[in-house]
Structure 1
Amino acid sequence: MNNAPNSYSRTRKRLMAAVASLAVVGTVGAGMLATGTAPVLADAVRVEATQMPSFADVVEHVSPAVVSVKVKAKIQPTADDGSDDQNGFDNLPDNPQLRRFFKEFRGFGDQGGQQFGMRPFNHRNHGNGEPRPVAQGSGFFISEDGYLVTNNHVVSEGSDFTVVTNDGKELDAKLIGTDPRTDLAVLKVDGGGNKFTYVDFADDSKVRIGDWVVAVGNPFGLGGTVTAGIVSARGRDIGAGPYDDFIQIDASVNRGNSGGPTFNLNGQVIGINTAIFSPSGGSVGIAFDIPASTAKQVVQDLMKSGSVQRGWLGVEIQPVTSD
């Protein structure tokens, strides 16, 4: 007799559960009819993987220190066939390999072959004796009072120099000194009391093959441009002379990057872009930098006296002025 109430209770619970299930189904169905969309069943695919490092912070801090360098010269008429006389080789030692390197890698002569990251403009006199564009490259400030570094081959034929900062300001610059043997030069701009953002040289003895690097410069005259890559090799000998000890990088470097800096991820300069190897004239991922250790000593001498003392070679490079 006691089983009847329990049986009734169980039956009642089953009926209530069934009614509740129908109510839920009815609610979902009504929602589908009202909105015309199906319920979201799963999230979109998202892969949680290790992200590549961003160079944005480095670029943001160093870009104001990198400039474009425009060079003009009072030039002499050239031959009717368009050939240049010495192509700016007067200051080079009488070394056929070195002259060939400057001609091919530095882009002074032939239009083909291996190319350097900067090619001078056409050296033609327009007849009025006014300074004409001959080159444009890159550079970077190394002091807040306006000293900056670039390549010797960028400025070697110039008499007037203009520096274009990252924010578009154009400033006249004075040539302090050059060192053709290492292809380095120092310019100075007068900021009128303003202080410039500047960068420092790294200890390149700590640079390892495979390290990330960032190159900043003025390729093809486009203005501030950033490329990234790695250190591909060290101690490269490309037949450039007694200081043939280049850092090879695979960051894209082109004409106009001459004299521009290559940075590590701490925003320090590990090298200065000076040459590329390219059958086509554009970047193929083989660029060469003057190591920071070489550049630092040469630049200090140029800033101090406009010349480089090399007692162990018995050679002194004479100061070069813009007069």
Structure 2
Amino acid sequence: MLRTSSPEDEALESRIRGQISDLPLVLKVDPGPEPGPNVVEQWRAVVALAERHQARAVIWFSHTQQALILHIAEPATRRMLVRQFQHADPPTTLSRSATAESAALVVRSALKALDARLPVGEPIEVELEPDVPPPPTPSPNREVAPWTLAVGWQASLDGNSPRGQQGLQVGLGWERGRLRARLLLLASLPGHLTDEYTRVSLSKHAAGVGVDAALISTERFRLGAGLGAGVAGFLRSTASLVPAAEASPPRLTPTAYMSPELSARWRTGPVALETSVAVDVLAGAPTLTYQRAQSVVVRNQLWGVQPRLGLALVFGSP
């Protein structure tokens, strides 16, 4: 838990968040005055803050003309770390920025040690008044690695099907910080290609994995960009329309693919709406042909690069 008491503390908050973004910890912020001027009053305030926020550690800063002073207290172990960072003389904007970054690095190191159950700082010999009960030992505030399930609709253009390939998409995602890993399954309804000789039913199915990173991430909105890869299968069956045409048996043609993707998600509660735009780059696009005597006539040539649009409901933690 971070107590912020000034605009300088609010600037330090952003630096601390940047330093600990990869750690499995949650940083809570409580604006208010600094804990008291002496150790007893400081410790009383620290215990009260930790109890109110169920926090394992309390962080705050003191400022003087010459220095920035960092305090990190852990009520459960009755230990406190105090570090002083001297400003340059005379202080400049650049030197103050370097001092703030140094303080944020010390916060990162201390929180990593606390998460590993290592002692941080020096013991505090403070006896609180009898009416103040000793603090409980809270468990560390850890981020839950959230799983999400996305179910929706997808459509891709293959260059021949009049309405493209449309059908179900199901995604299982795992998010931590700004990164997301995902398993994606696509299943299309058959599209029909008809000419004077045959009617071909063609559908596209795929299974792939992908990773993306959030370009913009807020409590309600996430804009991400990433890359996926997998295997697509084109399922084809043929019906003859004239006696002279002999239909070949159904066939599944697999091919590898890669797909850059841009996604946008809007969350208003436990369910979010996500739209995505991707481009499937196929290693080999199927070609439908006729066999005439000793010659091969191309009937349909599918695109090797197929744009894809998705719209899904996302269930689970953001």
Task: Place the TM-score, normalised by the shorter chain, in its bin.
Answer: under 0.3
Give 1 or 2 for the bigger CA radius of gyration.
1
Whose strand proportion is higher, 1 or 2? 2
When you count helix as a share of all residues, which structure comes out higher?
1
Q: TM-score, normalization: structure 1?
A: 0.17
